A and B are shown apart, each in its own frame.
Chain A
Amino acid sequence: MSAESLLPLITATGIRKTFGPTVALDNAQAVLYPGEIHALMGENGSGKSTLLTILAGAQPADTGKITLRGQELVGLTPAEARRLGIAVVSQEPQLSSALTVGENIFLGRLPTTAGRVSWREVHRRAAEILAELQLEIDPRAPVSSLSLGRRQMVEIAKALADRPQVLLLDEATSSLDEADTRTLFALLARLRAAGTAIAFVSHRMTEVMEHADRATVLRDGQYIGTRLLSQTDEHVLVSMMVGRDLKSYWHKAEVAQGEALLRMVRVSRGPLKSIDLTVNKGEIVGLAGLVGSGRSALLRTIAGVKRMEAGEMFVNRASVRIQSPRHARQLGIGYVPEDRKGEGLVMHWSLYRNAGLSRVAALRALAPVTERIDRAAYAKGTEGLKVRTSDPRQAVSELSGGNQQKVLIARELAISPELLLLDEPTRGVDVGAKEDIYAQISALVQGGMGLMIASSELQELIGVCDRILVLFQGQIVADIPAAEASEEALAYWASGAHLIGAA
C-alpha cells in the first residue's frame, strides 16, 4: 500500500473528551487514507468507540480537530457526517426491532416519489444491498425475527446504503459467524480498492493481522502509535495496548474432575435433536458450531428459558424438568446470555444493582434488600476482572462495551453457581480482560464448578476447555478433547463436511 504518497481522507488529531470525571480521550488521534483498512485497537475503555462516534458527529469532542480532505469540520452532526459520506456501524445495536429490515436500512432517508414513500423502491434497493452482502434476508421481514448475527449484518447494510467514502465499524464482527465475517471482509476489500477509507475496531488479533493494512493503538484514551501491519507482529501490538507483555492468552489449570453435574439424555426441543451430554464437576465443556447450529438453543434449554420437549435431564443425579430460569437458578445453574443489552443488563441501572440482580432475584418476595447486597455481589463478582469505571454507582450504559460484559459475568459469578453457562462470554472483551475472566473462571472450576461455554472463537475454546462438543443442525456431531482439537478439525465438523464424505 502506498498510503504515504496520498493525502489523508479524514483525520482527527489532539482529540480530548471527558464525561464528568472520566477522561475518555486525551490527545487521541486517527488518520485514515483513502483505500486503506485501518484497525483501531486498545483495551476495553481505552476510547475507541468514543473516537469513532466523534468522527461520525454523534458527539462533539471537547478539544481537537477533525478534517475531511484537508477541510476542517466544525460542529459536525450525524446528518452532516452522513451527507459528507461518513458512515458508522456502532457497537451497540441501533435497529428498531419493530420495523422491517428495509425500513431500518433507509430509516430517516426513505426514498420518495412525489412526496410519498415508495415502498417498492425501498425494498428493491434494500434487496440490492443485502445481495451485495450475500444475505438471504427478506427486506420485508421485521428485524425482531432475526438473530443477533443477522441483525449485525443489517446494521452493516444500513451503513453501506449511502455508499460512504469513510466507513467506521465498531466491533462489527463480534457477533458474526465465520462465513459472514469472510463475506464482510471480502466486501471491505472491494471498497478499499474503490478508494474508501475504512476503520474498524476488533479485539480479534487474527482478524486484524489478516485484513488490516495499518493499526492505530489507543491506551487510556491516549494515542500510542500507528503501525504498518506488514512490518509488525501481534506481540508488539498487544504490548502497545496493555503496556506490558502478555505471555499466554489463557490459563488452563489441570483440575481433577468430579462426578457428573449435568447429564442430558436424548433431549430434544425446537432446533435441538436428541442431545446426549455430560458435564462433570470441575470440567469446562466448549460448544462450537455455526450460528444457528443450536449452541445458544442448548444453553437456553439448560437455563430454563425454553422447556425441553423430550428426553431426560439430570442435575446432580436427580431427574429434573426445568420449568423456568428461576427454577434453573434454584438448581444452581447460572447463565450469561448472548445479548448483553437486550437480555442481560438493565442499562440505566448502576453497576452495583446489575451485579446484584441474580442474587436479589434468588430471595423470597418480601426479603429485605439494601444496597449492601448489591455491593457485596459486585465486590465478589468483579474480583479479578478489573472493571473500568469511575464509580460503580454510574449507569452501566456509560461503560464501554467490554466493561459491560464484565459486569454481566460478574453478576453470575456473584451467585457462585454450581454450573455456569456462558454464551459468547468474551464478545467485545479485550485480550487482557479475557485473560482475567478465564483466570477467574478457572479458579472457580477448581472449586468444583462446571462450565459450558459457547463461542465462535475456536482458538479460545481450544485454549480454555477440557472438551469441545461440536453442534451441527441441532445435533452433537463431535466430542473432542481440547488437547487433540485443532481449529481445522472443529471447522470441519461445524460445517457439516463430514456428511459430504459419508454420502
Chain B
Amino acid sequence: MTAADISQTSSTTSLATILRRYAGVGAALVALILFLSVTQENFLKYNNIMNILRTNSVMFVAAVGLTFVIISQGLDLSVGSMTALGGVFLAELLTSGVGAWPAIALTILACTFLGAVVNGGLIAYGGFNFFVVTLAMMQLLRGAALVISNGVPASTFMWDPVQWVGDGVVAGLPVPVVLAVLIGILGYAVMRWTRFGRSVYAVGGNETAARLAGINVKQVRVAVYGISAACAGVSAIMLTGRLTSSQPVSAALGLELSAAAAVLLGGASFSGGAGNIGGTAIGVLFLSVLANGITLAGVPSYWQGIATGAVLIAAIALDRIRAK
C-alpha cells in the first residue's frame, strides 16, 4: 500500500466512523431543526437562536466537565449544587468588597479545589464509590449554599464583569456563548490530543490495564473531578450574571442530570472509555432545541421532562442496535 492509499483509506474511514457515531443524534437534530423551521415561524429568528444558545451555554459548560468524568467511567452528581454554591460564594465575595475579577477567579478556584480534593480525593484515594460521594456532595453543597446565604438571593447587578460574563456581548455574539464555545474547543483538544486526554479514555476503558501500563489512575481521577467542578464554577458565574443574582434554592436544580443526559446522547456511555466533547455539543444542542420547540409550540413546559427522557431512551436503544 502506498502512502497515498493509506491516507485516503484513513480519511474515508474516519468520515465513516464520524457518520456512524453521530448519525443517530446528529440526524435527529437536523430533522428537528428542519421540522421546527417549517412549523414554527419564530424558530429561525436571530433572537430565538441566540436565546437558545445563551440560555444553554451554562448546561454545555457543565456537560463538558461531566464528559471527562463519564469517559473515565465515573459520574458527578454534584455539578448542579456546585453551580449553586459557586453563585452564592461569588455573591458573598462581591458584597464583602472583593473586586469582581478576583472574585470570579476565586470562585472558580474554590469549586475546582472542592471537586478535586473532596470528590476526587475520596473516590481516588479513599476508594469510595463515585455515586455515593457525589450524591452526598450534591446534598452537602446545596445545603452549604443555603446556610451561607440563609436561602436569600443576593443581587450581583452592580458588578459589571459578572453581568458581562453572563449576559454581555462581544463582537456581536453573547459572551456566555463565546465562552462556552472556547471551553468546548479546549476540552475537545485536551481529550483528543494530549496524553492526559488519552489517559482518561484508558482509565475508563480498562482501569487495570491503564495502571499497569504506567498511567497514574488516581491522579487522573482527581483531575477529572477537578475539571468537572471547575466547569461548574464557570457555569456558576455565567448563570449568576444572567440571573443578575445568586439563587441558592433554585439555581441549577437538576443541572447534573440534564448535562448527563446530553453527554449520553452524545455517544458516551456509563461503561466508560467512549465519547467526546463533539458528541456532547450535539447532545446539548438537541436537548436545547427540543425544549425551545416545546415552548414555541405552546406545549406546557411540563412535557419537557417526558420528551427528554423519551429521547434519551430512544438514543440509547439506537446505539444498542447499531452495536450489534
Contacts and interface: CB of A to CB of B under 8 A. Distances in A.
A358 B212 CA distance: 9
Given A345-B206, A346-B206, A369 B213 contact: no
B199 A361 contact: yes
B302 interface: no
Interface string B198-213: 1101100110111111
Interface string A88-126: 000000000000000000000000000000000000000
Contacts of B213: 325, 329, 357-358, 361, 411
Interface in B203-233: 205-206, 208-216
Q: Which of B198, B210, B212, B214 counts the most chain A CB atoms within 10 A?
A: B214
A366 B195 contact: yes
A365 B196 contact: yes
Interface string A423-435: 0000000000000
B47 interface: no
A360 B208 contact: no
Contacts of B274: 348
Given A348-B205, A348-B274, A393-B13, A325 B195 contact: no
Given A325-B213, A357-B209, A348 B193 contact: no
Interface residues of B, number: 25
B197 interface: yes
B46 to A, nearest CB: 38
A133 interface: no
A343 interface: yes
Contacts of B202: 346, 357, 361
B214 A364 contact: no
A1 B195 CA distance: 60
B194 interface: yes
A132 to B, nearest CB: 33
B241 interface: no
B195 A337 contact: no
A348 B273 contact: yes
A374 to B, nearest CB: 9
A74 interface: no
A349 B205 contact: yes
B9 to A, nearest CB: 8
Contacts of B196: 365-366
A24 interface: no
Given A305-B212, A337-B212, A348-B205, A370 B193 contact: yes
B212 A335 contact: yes
B216 A369 contact: no
Interface in B252-300: 273-274
A32 B319 CA distance: 40
Given A346-B273, A368-B193, A362 B205 contact: no
A365 B194 CA distance: 7
A344 B212 contact: yes
A297 interface: no
Interface string A347-363: 11100000001101111
Interface in A321-353: 324-326, 328-330, 335, 337, 342-349
A362 B211 CA distance: 12
Q: Which of A305, A337, A360 counts the most chain B CB atoms within 10 A?
A: A360
Contacts of B209: 342-346, 357
Contacts of B194: 365-369
A394 to B, nearest CB: 10
Contacts of A56: none
A59 B287 CA distance: 38
Q: Which of B205, B210, B274 counts the most chain A CB atoms within 10 A?
A: B205
Contact of B198 (A305, A344, A360, A391): A360
Contacts of B215: 326, 361
A326 B214 contact: yes
Interface string A295-333: 000000001010000000000000000001110111000
B212 A365 contact: no
The 10 closest A-B pairs by CB, nearest first: A361-B214, A346-B205, A329-B214, A363-B195, A326-B214, A346-B206, A367-B195, A343-B208, A365-B196, A361-B215
Given A337-B212, A361-B215, A393-B10, 20 more contacts: A324-B211, A324-B216, A325-B212, A325-B214, A343-B206, A343-B209, A347-B206, A348-B205, A349-B205, A357-B209, A357-B213, A358-B213, A361-B213, A364-B195, A365-B194, A365-B195, A365-B196, A367-B194, A368-B193, A369-B194
16 contacts: A303-B212, A325-B214, A342-B208, A343-B206, A343-B208, A346-B205, A347-B206, A348-B273, A357-B209, A357-B210, A357-B213, A358-B214, A360-B199, A361-B195, A361-B215, A369-B197
